[in-house]
A = this chain, B = another copy of it.
Amino acid sequence: MKQKKPKYKQIIEAAVIVIAENGYHQAQVSKIAKQAGVADGTIYLYFKNKEDILVSLFQEKMGMFIEKIEDEIKLKQSAADQLYTLIEKHFSLLAEDHHLAIVTQLELRQSNKELRLRINEVLKGYLNVVDKIITSGKETGEFREDLDLRLTRQMIFGTIDETVTTWVMNDQKYDLSKQAKQVHDLFIYGFVKSK
A interface residues, Cβ below 8 angstroms from B: 23-25, 106-107, 109-113, 116-117, 120, 137, 141-144, 147-148, 150-152, 154-155, 157-163, 166, 169, 179, 182-183, 186-194
Q: Are B182 and A151 within 8 A (Cβ)?
A: yes
CB of A182 to closest CB in B, whole Å: 5
Q: A158-B163, A191-B152, A194-B144 are in contact. Are A113 and B186 (CB under 8 A)?
A: no
Query: How far apart sit A183 and B154, CA to CA, in the bound complex (Å)?
Result: 10
Q: Contact check: which of B113, B137, B159 meets A191 at CB < 8 Å?
A: B137
CB of A162 to closest CB in B, whole Å: 3
Query: For chain A, what secondary structure do more than half of its interface residues adopt (helix, strand, loop), or is it mixed?
Result: helix
Q: What is the chain B residue whose CB lies nearest that of A144? A: B193
Tell me which residues across on chain B come within 8 A of A157, comparing CB atoms: 162
Further contacts, 6 of them, CB under 8 A, given A144-B193, A147-B191, A151-B186: A25-B112, A110-B112, A154-B163, A155-B155, A155-B163, A187-B190
